[in-house]
Structure 1
Amino acid sequence: MLIKNRFRFAHFVIAALLPLAAMAADYPTKPVTIVVGYSAGGGVDAMARIMADKLPALLGQPVVVENRPSVGAIVGTSYVSKAKPDGYTLIMGAPGPMIFNHAVYAKLPYTPQDFTPISFVSDSPLMLLVNANNPAKTVQDLVNQSKQNPDKSNYAASSASFQLITELFNKKTGAKFTHIPYKGANDSVMAVMSGDVSMALADAGPASVGLQSGRVKVLAVTSAKRMPDYPNVPTLAELGIDLKVSLWIGLLAPAGTPPEIVKQLQDSVAKVVAMPDVQKRMTTMSVIPMSNTSEEFAKVIASEIPLWKQLAADNNIKAN
């Protein structure tokens, strides 16, 4: 009886896997949907639409973008986590829903294990911005200012992501900047421009408005290497500050998606990112075109969640 039951169980498992194996062999045979957990027009949405524009020529099927915006991108992310793992429902993810939400929310309707990473699409380092009239010429000058006047030193952050990153900056440098919440990244940059806050860490897109107007200046960037558009701006690492952070954007699938489909999508994303016109489009948006493997992508998520969870706990940072 035991042998018979084991045979039945093995037969059941094989039967359950056969449809996915067959789908992987023929994939794709219908349109692919890329879900975006944010409104149309933002950076994540822009990357999804670039993929939707270029992937059909490689996959042989239409690719559509579906926006499911919500606070923290939780709705769209949860939706994809429960989707059938057949390669037809994907999500254009970002550190907010994939990493930082796990650090600041006590409970979420999805877990990191609900997804199979496919590939990065782009990367966006952050810039340390201060008002153009701020006498600080270096990061150390700015840190010293905060230590000398902690009651007058603050920073703008539009989400838990930026708050956590800036608190890590405080920890690494001994700076004494206090958090002031703002609704969006553009609002944070405007607060620096107007002198309402001492500093802000912002991605290059929103930062460019203040930089082009000459009302803010950048003291450093958080990338591993200097940004091509700002070759004279040092990285924090160059200054001896162990802080390398970027806001990547990448494509993920529901967990259990056949490896053959994941590999096909990964290869296709790499080809799109390497296209000269795509590189030009991304560069004009102040993001760095980038692709990687599913394994490399997974390591980024797995290594970063514990770091930010601990930092959130240490600073009592919680999502409202």
Structure 2
Amino acid sequence: MQTTRRALLLSGAASAAALALPAFAQNYPTKPIRILVAYPAGGVSDAIARTLGDRLSVQMGQPVVVENKAGAAGIIGMEAVAKAQPDGYTIGFSAISPLVLSPHLQKVPYNPDADLAPVASVFYSPVLLLATPASRAHDFRDLLGGAKDRPGSVRWATSGNGSLGHLMLEQLMAQAKVQMVHIPYKGGGQQLTDALSGQFEILSTNAGPTLTDHIRTGKLRPLAVGAPKRLDSLPMVPTLAELGYPRANMSSLFGVFAPGKTPQRIIDRLNTEVNEALKTPELRNRLLSTDNVPTGGSAQDFAKEIDRESVANAAIIKAVGIKGD
């Protein structure tokens, strides 16, 4: 009898909670929303997140505040999202690397499957491989030739250990049988500043408006691009697949995430709002003008893409023998 009563009480509590959730979610949002960007200010992810935040504020009738939580190739930002209250008022903006790449290289302070909920993909970003003023390379062949002639003399900067650029570097070194030095940063802002002053020879980073300007003025020289096809703005720059390195021919997928236990109704609302924002000329034009490709779609499709990338990256890391921290 006691067991039956306990079961009935638990059942009643669960039913009450289930009835309460729709009412709570239906009123959402009633206060400002924070977007935690997993990278420093100044990069493409920061610029797009702020444009997205402005649109969401207009659409949802509440202020949307963007904060930068940079470090460890996006892990610090995603940890902050994972540990936030699952009420829809703290969400994250990041590449999917902290979920699909970093956990295969090192221990991360969250469960990527349970502690973070995919909300919506926002855009694909090509990864550009660029020579800085410190580099003698005029094209990709020069880069590999210099690395072979002088092992360890080429320094390659990425957004951090366990980042997509890191994986691309390891893939190239393994296939081309060359040795380059990995220089990990916390994100794109300081990385770009140091690139312009020649603190290292090679920079791998996502496409963005500031980067485009530096390429046009000749301060940075594009050697290759990770993308499905050549970029319209750089038609003479080959993809890594064309150069014979298809496994290193990667691009970054960015999106919005919520804490893992966020109610589904709030996930659905946020997904709808992000997709609406992606239809606006302001956001679409900002993405397309810098060779970034708007995506969007359902939260379920975003989750499936994340799962697919995680499985693929695990296989690549095992094959190449990359070791994390």
- Tell me which interval the TM-score lies in, with the shorter structure as reference length: 0.7 to 0.9
State the alpha-carbon separation in 2 of the partners of residues 275 and 29 from structure 1.
24
Counterpart of 1:294, as a letter, is: A
Alignment pair present for 1:273 and 2:278: yes
State the alpha-carbon separation in 2 of the partners of residues 34 and 3 from structure 1.
45
Q: Is the 8 A contact 1:77 1:110 kept in 2?
A: no
1:114-153 equivalence runs, <5 A: 114-130=115-131, 134=136, 137=139, 139=140, 142-143=143-144, 146-147=147-148, 149-150=150-151, 152-153=153-154
1:54-93 equivalence runs, <5 A: 54-93=55-94
Q: Is the 8 A contact 1:125 1:221 kept in 2?
A: yes
Alignment pair present for 1:229 and 2:230: no
The number of residue pairs the alignment matches comes to 313
Counterpart of 1:157, as a letter, is: T
Alignment pair present for 1:282 and 2:287: yes
Tell me which residue corresponds to 1:258. Answer: 263
State the alpha-carbon separation in 1 of the partners of residues 137 and 110 from structure 2.
47
Q: Is the 8 A contact 1:102 1:108 kept in 2?
A: no
Q: Is the 8 A contact 1:94 1:248 kept in 2?
A: yes
Q: Is the 8 A contact 1:20 1:86 kept in 2?
A: no
TM-score, L = length of structure 1: 0.81
CA positional deviation for 1:251? 0.8
CA RMSD between the two structures: 3.2
CA positional deviation for 1:207? 4.3
Tell me which residue corresponds to 2:192. Answer: 186
Alignment pair present for 1:204 and 2:207: yes
Tell me which residue corresponds to 1:213. Answer: 217
**Partner-residue secondary structure (3-state), 1:221:** strand
* 1:214-243: CA deviation from partner (whole Å, max 9, x where unpaired): 254323211113222223323223444323
The structure-2 alpha-carbon separation of the partners of 1:307 and 1:168, relative to structure 1 and needing over 3 Å to count, comes to farther
State the alpha-carbon separation in 1 of the partners of residues 295 and 207 from structure 2.
16
* 1:40-64: CA deviation from partner (whole Å, max 9, x where unpaired): 4443332222122111332233322
Tell me which residue corresponds to 1:7. Answer: 8
CA positional deviation for 1:14? 1.7
Q: Which has the higher helix share?
A: 1
Q: Is the 8 A contact 2:34 2:65 kept in 1?
A: yes
* 1:137-172: CA deviation from partner (whole Å, max 9, x where unpaired): 4x456445544554545533352112232112323x
Q: Is the 8 A contact 2:130 2:222 kept in 1?
A: yes
Deviates more, 1:292-301 or 1:102-111: 102-111
CA positional deviation for 1:117? 0.6
CA positional deviation for 1:99? 3.8
State the alpha-carbon separation in 1 of the partners of residues 60 and 236 from structure 2.
41
State the alpha-carbon separation in 2 of the partners of residues 64 and 158 from structure 1.
24
State the alpha-carbon separation in 1 of the partners of residues 219 and 138 from structure 2.
14
CA positional deviation for 1:16? 2.4
State the alpha-carbon separation in 2 of the partners of residues 35 and 151 from structure 1.
36
**Partner-residue secondary structure (3-state), 1:106:** coil
The structure-2 alpha-carbon separation of the partners of 1:91 and 1:219, relative to structure 1 and needing over 3 Å to count, comes to same
**Partner-residue secondary structure (3-state), 1:234:** coil
**Partner-residue secondary structure (3-state), 1:296:** helix
The runs of 5 or more residues in structure 1 that have no matched partner are none
Counterpart of 1:174, as a letter, is: A
Tell me which residue corresponds to 1:102. Answer: 103
